[in-house]
Chain A
Amino acid sequence: MHKRKGQGTVIRFENVGVRYGIGPEVLRDINFDLETGSFHFLTGPSGAGKSSLLKLMYLAIKPSRGLISMFDQDVTKAERKDLPALRRRIGVVFQDFRLLPHLTALENVALPLRIAGAREEQIRDHVAELLAWVGLADRVNARPSTLSGGEQQRVAIARAVIGRPSILLADEPTGNVDRKMGERLLHLFVELNKIGTTIVIATHDSGLAERVNAPILDIDDGKLSILPPPAPFEPTLRVAYGRGERRAPAPERASPVEPGEDLDAEHHTAPPHSPPGESSPPDSSSDPV
């Protein structure tokens, strides 16, 4: 497989089909390549096969036919014992979060590190830092049941990114929160993309794709087509980052956010893996949830 300098194909689907049991194929002839560090949305009506496609990408199911290559490795032929190492390079934000109910936010986020056998001190500092970065510094010891939907979502996202995955897959990550929180989370994904993470976000919300000017993987009736980034049409729809009720009716930038481009100079949020001193956690007091 070819590799450009610092780039390359991180996910490749060739003629992939999926059927469950003896039912009809829910995905047919899926072909696409995702470049390392790219940002894609995954859209399509309910039941079109978005979840199945994501499951293929996070190695929860195997295709009935075709070839899937991730990290230059044919995952359809990979041995079972080699899959955990691949899965650790893939962060997943599940639609329903899937936090472990008896563990605290800290423990939930620490899970991927614990599984990878990291040392206790490393885990603790690292996790606390990341939770602070997503604005949950004061909620580290809270159980999921005592967290609001938005807080749970951020714990789920923190768990997905704590292990510095190469690929981040998110299923409706803004489906359970209000618009403002959704935009804030979107901002987080764009920031992660800037540090080189390949991102795929499944969403019903076509507005999201317009806010982040990213190409769209569109599934309809089991078939996938790749749409170019949508042209921006309303500046008011662009991401309104920041605190409180601040809106941006007269934006400094007319075009929507480009992945890999700096978002908002006033509210620059450092990625979680930069030195701790540089990060400025979002103000959790403005959390609308």
Chain B
Amino acid sequence: MDLLRRPIVYLSDHPSGRLLPWVIAVMAYLAALGLAGVVTLDQSVSRWRSALSHTVTVQIVTGEESARETERDAVLKLLNNTDGIESALPMTKSEVKTLLEPWLGQGNVIDDLPIPLLIDVKLGAGSAVDLDGLAKKIGDVAPDAVLDDHGSWLQRFINLAENVKLIAAGIVTLVGLATVAIVIFATRAGMAIHHDTIEILHLIGAKDSFIASQFQRHFLRLGLKGGLIGVAIAVLSLLGLSRLSFGLEDAFIPRLAFSVTLLVVLAVLPLLASLLTMFTARQTVTSALSRMV
């Protein structure tokens, strides 16, 4: 038993010492969810972006059915002879029907409607196909064909996701700032309660760094404890969310997966919380001490 290693400033017996880890836990929980949102959206956006740059659709909308089929064959021939295109497959009538079903319902309605002919084009990975040039060439062989690069509407989707991501990042920042504020108040409360102890240490020749170290060690522990609790609860929440989203196959629902990035972020968060808490406490104590003679 080493008595001389016990903390000189005995902060643990104060209610703030018991409450603070839980407040930090809440903050860490919110930060973890926010960061999970940022990471998930970021991954979804890059997934969408690659989808955006890798698939295009050619639609042949107008004209007689036989003319449309002739144009389709011409376009297919052109596409298959263009460098950088991995595949160009015409969609069958039943595939198009499946696509339209959500809007038009099942039944034979579709049979009576002029269904546009669609060609699903996959661009080769890493190839830079000049889409504008391609559109022009397609227009030459098939005047009724339209090249749709999904750009306009997917871009809006990406914009939305990017903005949600920014808001999530903003929330994480605000949570961090709120944590700093809370730690400043807790440190000041601790200093007020232990004013006599601090004054004695000061008067018998303790350097500011020595006194600050008494506080920062305490707050490092509180921050680590709070951070671990918060992140643990956040992991449980995220597991629940990912289980709920499991089985939803829509490509445009951001997929919550425990990617390596997310795991690293979650692992580092308690450390960040404790370091943030520690440095805030140190800074608060040092600046308060600098006002003493």
* Chain A residues close to B by CB (< 8 Å): 58-62, 80-81, 83-88, 92, 98, 100, 102-104, 106-107, 110-112, 114-116, 120, 123-124, 141, 159, 163
Contact = CB atoms under 8 A, between A and B. Distances in A.
Given A58-B203, A115-B204, A115-B206, A107 B293 contact: no
A85 B203 contact: no
User: By DSSP majority rule, is chain A's interface helix, strand, loop, or mixed?
Assistant: helix
Interface in B5-20: 6, 8, 10, 13
Contacts of A86: 205
B11 to A, nearest CB: 10
B137 interface: no
A85 B205 contact: yes
A85 B13 CA distance: 31
Given A111-B200, A115-B207, 18 more contacts: A59-B293, A62-B293, A80-B293, A81-B207, A86-B205, A87-B203, A88-B205, A100-B10, A103-B8, A107-B6, A110-B4, A111-B201, A115-B201, A115-B204, A116-B205, A120-B2, A120-B4, A141-B3
A107 B203 contact: no
28 contacts: A59-B203, A60-B293, A61-B293, A62-B293, A83-B293, A86-B205, A87-B202, A87-B203, A88-B204, A98-B196, A98-B200, A102-B13, A103-B6, A104-B3, A106-B3, A107-B4, A111-B8, A111-B201, A111-B204, A112-B204, A112-B205, A115-B206, A115-B210, A116-B205, A120-B4, A124-B4, A141-B3, A163-B204
B152 interface: no
Contacts of B203: 58-60, 87, 92
B257 to A, nearest CB: 50
Interface residues of B, number: 21
B200 A100 contact: yes
Interface string B77-89: 0000000000000
Contact of A100 (B8, B207, B210): B8
Contacts of B204: 87-88, 92, 111-112, 115, 159, 163
Nearest to B207: A84
Contacts of B245: none
Contacts, number: 65
A106 B290 CA distance: 30
Interface of B: 2-4, 6, 8, 10, 13, 196-197, 199-207, 210, 290, 293
Given A62-B293, A100-B197, A87 B205 contact: yes
B4 A123 contact: yes
A140 to B, nearest CB: 9
Contacts of A120: 2, 4
Nearest to A114: B4
Given A112-B204, A115-B206, A102 B10 contact: yes
A116 B290 CA distance: 20
A59 B202 CA distance: 10
A110 B207 CA distance: 16
A92 B201 CA distance: 12
A80 B290 contact: yes
A75 to B, nearest CB: 10
A141 B210 CA distance: 24
Contacts of A58: 203
A57 to B, nearest CB: 11
Nearest to B289: A80
Contacts of A61: 293
